[in-house]
Amino acid sequence: MKRVVYAKRGGLEAIEIIEEESPEPEKGEVLVEVHRAGINFADLMMRQGLYGAAPDFPFTPGYEVSGIVLKVGKNVEGCQVGDRVVALTGFGGYAQQVVVSEQRVWKIPDNVSFDMAAAMPVTYLTAHHMLVHLGNFRKGDSVLVHHAAGGVGTATAQLVKALGGGVIYGTSSASKSKFVEQQGMIHIPRGEDFVKRIKDEIGGVHHALDPVGGKHVMQSYKALRNGGRLYVFGASSAVKGPRRSLLTAIRMWKSTPKFDPIRMMNSNKSVYGVHMGRWEDQEVAKEQMIALAKMLEAGLINPVIDSVYRFEDVAEAQKHIHNRGNRGKVLLDFSPQ
């Protein structure tokens, strides 16, 4: 089998494809033949050595896959050979085959494509975890989401609508305004003072989702109303392009705000750091995945797929995301040919 490897820290040239023997599932594990693997911005940061949760080089990235069960280990009861599944891999998903704990594998119905299944775990689970599990989302709640045209942005828009939410503000480049508005969001072009706009129009949002990091985090905090919640789940401002820029990363880290608990108390605002790759309570994740699966079957959510690249073209796929060209989720195709 073949898998993608980050051989070293660096640009797109650091990506290699190697061939090796198929892995074997151990007790409580499942071997999945991967058909689709999702790409997330965190994967790009890992390649540049800017993601603290990444393994040591060399390693294979990839948080999420969909495919078919090839083998099961001892004591596996929830899966059998031939099942169509989606899985949270943590790492290692950029491969033709991957071994995953049974606890992180879920069956998918026949009417759900591998594309749709692979587009869900990270983006929808992240948005659901922030808004529902942490945020106690209520009908009519307002939301601000940055990088609104991306995977989490489009997932957020659909979830807010499905949950009976109110107004959704989405920031992105001006070229994506029509797409963002088609997703049911009020578009705010990058560079516009979104804090002033939101304060003037509705006085502040109930929830703000920030994957940008740095000084941008404080602006998102200021856009909250009394009692609002801010979720920080990324640091895209640390990445300037395909090549690593240490200066850009340092500027981001130095500009990251430090919050005063007393001021937060007086305004009843909350700040959450969210990293689903490091979330340890699997029962909570399982409950959320089941809830999302029901919403998908009911047609309440429908993952937006930007593009699907063959895994041999993984560098081009990541370059597309670096260039902020994607509208929705970008996937890798590992299916047998």
Whether the model pTM is above 0.85: yes
User: CA torsion sign, 131 to 136 to 139 to 144?
Assistant: negative
Identity of residue 40: N
Phi/psi for 315 (5° steps) reads -65, -40
**Over its length of 337 residues, how does the chain's per-residue pLDDT go in tens digits?**
999 999 999 999 999 999 999 999 999 999 999 999 999 999 999 999 998 788 999 999 999 999 999 999 999 998 999 999 999 998 999 999 999 999 899 999 888 999 999 999 899 999 999 999 999 999 999 999 999 999 999 999 999 999 999 999 999 999 999 999 999 999 999 999 999 999 999 999 999 999 999 999 999 999 999 999 999 999 898 898 888 888 898 998 899 999 999 999 999 999 999 988 788 888 898 899 889 988 988 889 999 999 999 999 999 999 999 999 999 999 999 999 8
CATH class for domain 2-119+303-333?
Answer: alpha beta
Tell me if 5 sits within 8 A of 47, measured CB to CB. no
Residue found under tokens 């940008």: 212
Query: What's the CATH number of domain 122-277, 3.40.640.10, 3.20.20.150, 3.30.1180.20, 3.40.50.720?
Result: 3.40.50.720
212 vs 189: CA distance, rounded Å: 15
Domain with CATH 3.40.50.720 in the chain: 122-277
- What one-character-per-residue DSSP string does 223-256 give? TEEEEEEEEE---GGG--SSS--HHHHHHHHHH-
Smallest Cα–Cα separation from 226: which of 186, 197, 264?
A: 264
Tokens of 262: 């007393």
